[in-house]
Amino acid sequence: MNKVMGRGERQRMHGLVVHASAARARGTNGLAALAVAATVLGAGAVHAVTLPPPPVSPAPVTDYEYDAKGNLTKVIKGKGVTGFGLTTQNAYDPLDRLKTSTNAKNGVTSLGYDGQDNLNQVTDPRSLVTQYQRTGLGDVTQLNSPDTGIANSTYDAAGNLLTRTDSRGVLATYTYDVLNRPTAVSYTQAGQATVGYGWTYDQSGGEFGYGVGRLTTATFPAGNTQSGYDAHGRVITSVQTVGTVALTTLYTYDGAGHVTSLTYPSGRKLVFTWEGGQLTYIGLTQASTPITAPLLSNIQWQAFGPARSWQMEMANGTQAYERVFDQYGRLVRYPLNNVVRDLTYDAANRITSYSHLDAATGLATAATQTLGQTFGYDELSRLTTVSTSAQTWTIGYDANGNRTNVTLNGTSRDYTTATTSNRLNQISNPARSFSYDAAGNTTADSTLYSAATYATDNRLTAITKAGVTTTYTYDAGGQRVMKVTGGAPGATRLFVYDLDGQLLGEYDANGAPVQEFVWMGNLPVVVMNGSAPAPEIFYVYADHLGAPRILVDTTGVERWRWISEPFGSTAADPAPTGLAAMEYRLRFPGQYFDEESGLNYNYYRDYDATSGRYVQSDPIGLGGGINTYAYVEGNPISYVDPFGLQKSDDMAIAQAIARGDVAELQALAEAANPQQAQLIQRALTPVRDLIRGATKRSPSYASELEEESFAEVCKLARGSGDIAKKAQKMKKLVQQQERLLGKY
């Protein structure tokens, strides 16, 4: 549903330069055909206007160069275009191991290896060194990070992580069943409360259904989540219990595996219609009536791509929601209620401007021109300038992407980063300071909050501000399921998520719904307010990132607005038309705004929009980027990080490798940056070319699989039977030698 169309094709030939662009469109016939008829609902009236086509942007062009052995040596973005030619160069040692990567600003990342070809050192462009000690099988026994300190680990004979002691002195102890499935983890430290999580498998019958071979119960300190399955292994029930409150979500499917209904804990039910494998309709059945009313209808899709248009079923008629994509698959136009936003791109595929038209007239007006923004970037595609009709921002960065300075309309603020890490120490004008624990978690911010507390499992569990403490609770999958704000009305909030980790609903202490959210893929499209049998319904206008920008009620009146600066620090307007204020806390994809701290909860971490960075170091370390605090590598105009781990393209590549989706990897290659392109290249390489030396004589080496790519081996390893066991062993052999593929 969410694949991007028109990424084009990339070919690889040894010793040759390969030119890649998205010149062969698969979904549209060019901008000449992109004038669309938009139906706009105003104050009780429907207007139709034919809009002019969006602005034309240059084709995205990336060149890849390889040496005679097939190693990626150079990536050039915008080659031949004046002001571009942004080049990253890779150098290899005699064993074809990546030795250095020099970025387009001449920042050098150096890699070191042990005698078994395992990565043992990374030196970043600021000369900060991350070191790894490993077993003979490649398992990391010690991590020495400038951001998180020293962590030591032990493993069992099967390679399962047994213990990990972090730089705070917290001991994590893991247990497994005979099938090497994790069954429990406990986090202990002298003087601190122990935190534990557990996983139970194979429960069957009753609420668990066909649970054999599957995770059926996950326990966490405040409760548990139980999952039931149908005969095809699909989740049909999910019961989340926090304290004494049980919140149940139900799913049904058609023969092709599409979700046909979703029942919320409130009893409200979404109904989905599919035609030709594509979602065409979303309806709502109230808990108190069997009648299904349409929410979205006539959903149309790009060829090989995302949703193009749909009808919002309003109180006084339907309102069309039209999105326009160019011949390269880029979103170039979308509506924001009474205006239409156009996007332009440069030759490096970076968004350079937003411009707007009045949706009722199709014209640029004085009012729409005030909404315009233009963007500038450095050689690493980090956002450096933002200009509007009223403001001009400039942002400076060090070699690792830490901010050094931000200037707004001539007023400058300096950012001071620690010399031995990427921790932000101070911001000037006005003065703002930060404190950290040994693991790199921010424990105090002189502007936002006085104290932040982290439990032994390294999750943020309490924020204190102005003498009021808010506590947070997480489930065994890392999702935040409860927060309690001391002394506040409606102090307790419970949260439930769907199977993709997107927030489904927010509930009070008794389980009554406060808000429930409707998603179409990764787009928020509707929100339902209140616990009444017939809730208030609001439609969401999201931007190209999937971030909500405007909410309207069923009469078309704007009720909430968040038109922010690029990093998201601008406060939302809860009453843009003077009606009753509306609460809505979704922000960038995967984020939920917490008023008590000023932070955005972002699944595995917390994001501070005011400084444009995370307040904790990345849980996956350098796997998420060379700077473990940076948000989407400094480009929030083009990328998102829904899980607080790595920017969206990185996540898509990681997931495609893990499931062995070769076709998706080939499609993702076109838009990849140099590091991503190299990762995809290695994932699509036959395993015989990844396993070197005496390792090929290992008893675990399966010659019948040696022609398969690593991605294909990952896919086979997810199955069952003898071939899956052989694939699992081959995968392990590759991971022992292959730095880029070690975490998949």
- Given this model, what pLDDT does residue 736 score? 67
**In this structure, is residue 704 part of a structural domain?**
yes
Name which residue leads in pLDDT, 664 or 267: 267
Least confident of 485-489, 490-494, 496-500, 643-647: 485-489
Cis peptide preceding 535, ω within 30 of 0: no
pLDDT digits (tens, 9 = 90+) for 439-452: 999 999 999 999 99
**How far is residue 589's CA from residue 600's CA, in Å, rounded to a whole number?**
11
Least confident of 563-567, 622-626, 658-662: 658-662
Name which residue leads in pLDDT, 350 or 726: 350
Answer for the pair 720, 727: CB distance below 8 angstroms, yes or no: no
**292-295 contact pairs (CB < 8 A, 24+):** 295/270, 295/518, 295/525, 295/526, 295/537
- Given this model, what pLDDT does residue 513 score? 97
**How far is residue 39's CA from residue 51's CA, in Å, rounded to a whole number?**
10
Q: Is the pLDDT of residue 391 over 80?
A: yes
**In this structure, is residue 238 part of a structural domain?**
no
**How far is residue 96's CA from residue 579's CA, in Å, rounded to a whole number?**
65
**How far is residue 116's CA from residue 417's CA, in Å, rounded to a whole number?**
36
H or E element: which one contains 492?
strand 492-497
| Strand order across the 613-614 sheet | 592-594, 599-602, 605-608, 613-614
pLDDT digits (tens, 9 = 90+) for 42-77: 333 334 568 999 999 999 888 889 899 888 899 899
- Given this model, what pLDDT does residue 16 score? 34
Q: Is the pLDDT of residue 518 over 60?
A: yes
- Given this model, what pLDDT does residue 655 score? 66
DSSP character string of 123-152? E-TT--EEEEEE-TT--EEEEEETTTEEEE
Mean pLDDT, residues 470-474 taken together:
98
Mean pLDDT, residues 353-369 taken together:
96
**In this structure, is residue 728 part of a structural domain?**
yes
**In this structure, is residue 703 part of a structural domain?**
yes
**How far is residue 282's CA from residue 280's CA, in Å, rounded to a whole number?**
7
**How far is residue 416's CA from residue 218's CA, in Å, rounded to a whole number?**
42
Mean pLDDT, residues 356-374 taken together:
95
Least confident of 114-118, 336-340, 406-410, 640-644: 114-118
Answer for the pair 46, 39: CB distance below 8 angstroms, yes or no: yes
Q: Which residue has the tokens 């705004």?
A: 593
Least confident of 361-375, 521-535, 675-689: 675-689
Answer for the pair 600, 588: CB distance below 8 angstroms, yes or no: yes
**How far is residue 258's CA from residue 282's CA, in Å, rounded to a whole number?**
13
**In this structure, is residue 716 part of a structural domain?**
yes
Least confident of 16-20, 375-379, 569-573, 700-704: 16-20
Least confident of 5-19, 98-112, 714-728: 5-19
**How far is residue 348's CA from residue 76's CA, in Å, rounded to a whole number?**
9
- Host domain of residue 689: 655-737
Q: Look at phi and psi of residue 70 and say left if phi exceeds 0, alpha if psi is from -120 to 50, else beta.
A: left
Q: Which residue has the tokens 């020293």?
A: 150
Give the residue among 200, 204, 154, 205 at the shortest CA–CA distance from 179. 200
Q: Which residue has the tokens 């006005």?
A: 430
Highest mean pLDDT: which range of 91-100, 425-434, 644-653, 664-673: 425-434
**In this structure, is residue 618 part of a structural domain?**
no
**In this structure, is residue 498 part of a structural domain?**
no
**How far is residue 603's CA from residue 477's CA, in Å, rounded to a whole number?**
10
| Residues near 109 by beta carbon (within 8 Å), at least 6 away in sequence | 100, 101, 102, 103, 122, 123, 124, 125, 626
Give the residue among 595, 585, 617 at the shortest CA–CA distance from 604. 617
Give the residue among 196, 202, 289, 227 at the shortest CA–CA distance from 498. 227
Q: Is the pLDDT of residue 27 over 50?
A: no
- Given this model, what pLDDT does residue 674 score? 53
- Given this model, what pLDDT does residue 719 score? 76
19 pLDDT band, cuts 50/70/90, is very low
Amino acid in the structure at residue 707:
E
Helix or strand or coil: residue 667?
Answer: helix
**In this structure, is residue 717 part of a structural domain?**
yes
**How far is residue 32's CA from residue 35's CA, in Å, rounded to a whole number?**
7
- Given this model, what pLDDT does residue 716 score? 87
Q: Is the pLDDT of residue 7 over 50?
A: no
Q: Is the pLDDT of residue 697 over 80?
A: no
In the chain, the number of structural domains is 1
- Given this model, what pLDDT does residue 651 score? 59
Q: Look at phi and psi of residue 231 and say left if phi exceeds 0, alpha if psi is from -120 to 50, else beta.
A: alpha
151 pLDDT band, cuts 50/70/90, is very high
- Given this model, what pLDDT does residue 23 score? 31
**How far is residue 197's CA from residue 220's CA, in Å, rounded to a whole number?**
5
Average pLDDT, the chain: 89
Mean pLDDT, residues 286-296 taken together:
89
Mean pLDDT, residues 610-623 taken together:
96
- Which residue(s) pair with 505 in the sheet? 496, 516
- Given this model, what pLDDT does residue 318 score? 94
Mean pLDDT, residues 686-697 taken together:
77
Token pair for residue 125? 């462009």
Q: Is the pLDDT of residue 267 over 70?
A: yes
